[in-house]
Structure 1
């Protein structure tokens, strides 16, 4: 299904000169991965601490853009400059889910926003990413199927956060978006499981 993730190759092409300079300066993929994770945690803490001030949510879309760039950079450093490692695989997945939690949960502190919807969205985001990670366990590839992958969530939550900062959206509409994203995450979870199983079947030799 369509996903912003499909735009990743074009985004990587824009970043490639920067990635080359980072590599020449001795920067590693794992350093970028940790930077993205720690940065997300810090932004989440700041937003949570000052959630009574709507303007603080402007940090979310700004950081989301930078986070997507950092995620692309660490992947390019790993693949194109032979920096792939088992530790890097762990860091990549763990930092991603930590960042998701840190950047989604502060929305629950907004007046009128449903805590249960925020928790539901957070859990479904974790489940969908875990379903993607399970692909290699059954002989499939790491699944990134949409329609609500990591990049899509970042885009939607970034837009909502921007609207909050500008005072353009009410709690009712925020709850509606959270419910819609949760529904799309259920579809994403199904797609990742289904496509993983389908890939395994297609790769299994027929007797």
Structure 2
């Protein structure tokens, strides 16, 4: 199934000049990875601190775009500028999980969202990323299959935050969106596991 992740190559092309400039300035992929995680924690903390205020909600979509750029940049620095490392691989996977948790768990405190469903979404998101990583362990490639990958989650949470930040009244749309995300995350986990297994010979 299609995912926003599929447009990543075009986004990377736009960021390639900036990536080259950062490389020339001595910035490393690992530094960008750590920065993205730290900024995610800071953004999520603002939302948890004032979950009923509009300004943290408006900060979230703006930062999610920045985070997407940072994630693309650290990948290009690693691949295109000989900065791949075992530490970088660990930081990248753990950093993404930490960032997702820090950014999305505070939505449980935002009016209109069901706390239990938000917690379930965060848990399923972690499982989906773990499923993608486990694919490597069985001899397949790292799986990024959708329909509810990292970029898709960022888009939906960012859109929800933007709507609420602009004054849209909490209500039925949130009650529809949360179960839909849960269902799509379950499908994502299934897709990643199925395609990983399809890449490897049967035992």
Contact 1:124 1:185 (8 Å CA) reproduced: yes
Residue number in structure 2 paired with 1:5: 5
Q: Distance in 1 between matches of 2:55 and 2:78?
A: 36
Q: Distance in 2 between matches of 1:37 and 1:175?
A: 29
Shift of 1:139: 0.2
Shift of 1:112: 3.9
Deviation >3 Å, runs of 4+: none
Instruction: Give structure 2 stretches of 5+ with no counterpart.
Output: none
After superposition, what is the alpha-carbon deviation per residue over 1:95-140, rounded to whole angstroms, capped at 9, x for unaligned?
Answer: 1001111111111112342111000100000000000011110000
Residue number in structure 2 paired with 1:96: 96
Residue number in structure 2 paired with 1:195: 195
Contact 2:64 2:154 (8 Å CA) reproduced: yes
Say whether 1:106 aligns with 2:144: no
Shift of 1:71: 0.1
How large is the RMSD of aligned CA atoms in angstroms?
1.3
Contact 1:117 1:175 (8 Å CA) reproduced: no
Residue number in structure 2 paired with 1:68: 68
Q: TM-score, normalised to structure 1's length?
A: 0.95
Q: TM-score, normalised to structure 2's length?
A: 0.97
Residue number in structure 2 paired with 1:80: 80
After superposition, what is the alpha-carbon deviation per residue over 1:145-166, rounded to whole angstroms, capped at 9, x for unaligned?
Answer: 0001000110111001000101
Q: Aligned residue pairs: how many?
A: 203
Q: Distance in 2 between matches of 1:30 and 1:75?
A: 10
Residue number in structure 2 paired with 1:49: 49
